[in-house]
Structure 1
Amino acid sequence: MYTCVLTASPDRPTIEQTLVEALRNGWGGGDAQWLSPGVAAEFGLDRLPDTLRTTQDELDAMGVDLNVVPDMGRRKRLLLADMDSTMIQQECIDELAAEAGVGDRVAAITARAMNGEIDFDGALRERVGLLAGLDASVIDRVIADRITLMPGGRTLVTTMKAHGARAALVSGGFTAFTSVIAERLGFDEHRANILLIEDGKLTGEPGMPILGRQAKVDALQQITQAMGIASDDVLAVGDGANDLGMLTLAGMGVALHAKPAVQAEAGLRINHGDLTSLLYLQGYADTDFA
């Protein structure tokens, strides 16, 4: 058994009853119910529709995200989240690079790495190398002036934790950022790369080992083992190619506003909603939000 979930941006609550009913009738679904008026609705299905992908694309053009999730184990016990362009709206290394005057060069490398066009580890070394000599005090200024939280993130973390889940922030970014963001959003733990600093300046080298795609998979396996749960109990969310390992291993892997290559491989995708869409995928209504 499955549940079809339609979500939209809370800023543009465009889902209409006629759309939900037409889709339900076309797929032979069960009774529809609203999780949030105009923003999220769902109905049951006996099987996966043959026209799922094409219907997803059609609704995507209308500003509506469509996903189908299994009913069994729908509410997850672990949130495993990427940080850059997922829990925050920026790529932290791009913001540091802008302060160093190499923003365009670094942003171009970031875009290619996140789309899976180049190796993540090599791309990280190259980008960090361009930051050599940057005053370490710039990190605090970037966090204060340039970093903004992704809408819905605090509600996502708080609500899942209120229902007994654990939350881990696992980033290919840097601990100087994840430590702050994890505390702001209420994550239980965080893992990321280390920016090496000597005499108050960035050395241009990352600490080893580099936390990339495999390290995120390792984090999922280590944390679930410590919790005594299965990978099916995990909701993982990210936007880049280095997130695909954990997205495909998790019971619920969500590509959030993701690169095209990531959307093509991830099981679930959110292009229009904010992070509260991940709660609707688990069957939470807005009245359940903490």
Structure 2
Amino acid sequence: MFVATLIAAGKLTDEVVREAIDRLAATGHEVGAPHWLDEHDAADIVFQGSLVSARAELAKMDHGALDVVVQPLGDRTKKLIVADMDSTMITVECIDELADYAGIKPEIAAITQRAMRGELDFRAALIERVAALGGMAEATLTECRIERVKLTRGARTLVQTMKAHGAYSVLVSGGFTAFADPVGEAIGFDKVVANTLEISGGKLTGRVAEPIVDSQTKLETLKAEAAKHGLPLAETLAVGDGANDIPMITAAGLGIGFYPHASAGEAAAAVIRHHDLTALLWAQGYPRRSWVMG
């Protein structure tokens, strides 16, 4: 059994739901009656057939504000979330914002974008960008965080709701502890894994401490936390936007690309392009009445 969740906050109509049912039925799926999670916001359609075929068919629906998540019905409510930080749980790329304080944001942001698209090796690109920040005052880290870092809408509600229903939460970032630790605390993550910038004499040395948190670290964190909590990977959720998130996204029971770069979007089981992070609650079957509002 599978479930297709249609998400179009405030804009989901009976006609759109009926189109999805008709598309599934026309491609050989056995479809049940739809169920509103929240009327005009999100609806479930349970069906039997082919997961791959259903995803491909429903991806053809073109209704502007519609996001669709198709997944196995069993283990739908996840017990572990592992999330990327930059451009996922927060709205910016921290290293790009730091670079702005040094007057080199365009150069650094260009490298960041190439790394997130998978065109550059993440580790090498990180080392290069951090080197360019050598000599920056340590106090700038706090200044940048306070002035530039904003939580993504729905981040707290997503994590707090999952935790209230028994899930464990991990923020794992190729960014820096100076940002990730306060962000993780603000959102309510149980654990934070991120890179540490080396500092000497009150200034950045231009080096990042080993071991570097990269795509492999993200994958290993997902697997290790699942094992630690006695969970099969089917009961895990991973969300991110860049190429360095692909290994954990593809390994998780439900891997979500959140406004992703093309490579991450292609690898993800589902993509959120129109809604905030609360879409991941509807995807797990949580109606709004069960949310813990952040």
TM-score by length of 1: 0.95
Amino acid of the structure 2 residue aligned with 1:6:
L
Write the mapping of 1:187-198 to structure 2, written as runs, cut at 5 A: 187-198=189-200
Equivalent residue pairs, number: 286
Q: Of 2, 5, 13, which residue of structure 2 is paired with 1:16?
A: 13
Distance in 2 (alpha carbons) for counterparts of 1:155 and 1:203:
37
Distance in 2 (alpha carbons) for counterparts of 1:195 and 1:131:
10
Structure 1 pair 123–67 and aligned structure 2 pair: CA distance change class (3 A): same
Q: CA deviation digits over 1:211-244, x for unaligned, max 9?
A: 1000011111211121111211110000000000
Distance in 2 (alpha carbons) for counterparts of 1:214 and 1:260:
20
The residue number in structure 2 matching 1:276 is 278
Distance in 2 (alpha carbons) for counterparts of 1:58 and 1:205:
47
Secondary structure, aligned partner of 2:61: helix
Any stretches of 5+ residues in structure 2 without a counterpart? 26-30
Q: Of 23, 26, 34, which residue of structure 2 is paired with 1:26?
A: 23
Distance in 2 (alpha carbons) for counterparts of 1:106 and 1:113:
11
Amino acid of the structure 2 residue aligned with 1:55:
L
Secondary structure, aligned partner of 2:59: helix
Distance in 2 (alpha carbons) for counterparts of 1:172 and 1:79:
17
1:82 aligns with 2:84: yes
Any stretches of 5+ residues in structure 1 without a counterpart? none
Q: Of 118, 121, 144, which residue of structure 1 is paired with 2:120?
A: 118
Secondary structure, aligned partner of 1:6: strand
Amino acid of the structure 1 residue aligned with 2:56:
R
The residue number in structure 2 matching 1:52 is 55
Pairwise CA distance, 1:141: 1.0
Q: CA deviation digits over 1:226-268, x for unaligned, max 9?
A: 1111211110000000000000111011010000111111111
Q: Supply the RMSD in Å over aligned alpha carbons.
A: 1.3
Q: CA deviation digits over 1:200-219, x for unaligned, max 9?
A: 11111111111100001111
Q: Of 124, 129, 132, which residue of structure 2 is paired with 1:130?
A: 132
Write the mapping of 1:1-290 to structure 2, written as runs, cut at 5 A: 1-8=1-8, 10=9, 13-28=10-25, 29-48=31-50, 50=53, 52-59=55-62, 62-290=64-292
Do the aligned partners of 2:84 and 2:240 also contact (CA within 8 Å) in 1?
A: yes
Secondary structure, aligned partner of 2:119: coil
Structure 1 pair 51–157 and aligned structure 2 pair: CA distance change class (3 A): closer
Pairwise CA distance, 1:55: 3.4
Secondary structure, aligned partner of 1:79: strand
Distance in 2 (alpha carbons) for counterparts of 1:74 and 1:58:
23
Distance in 2 (alpha carbons) for counterparts of 1:192 and 1:4:
34
Sequence identity of aligned pairs in percent? 41
Amino acid of the structure 2 residue aligned with 1:131:
L
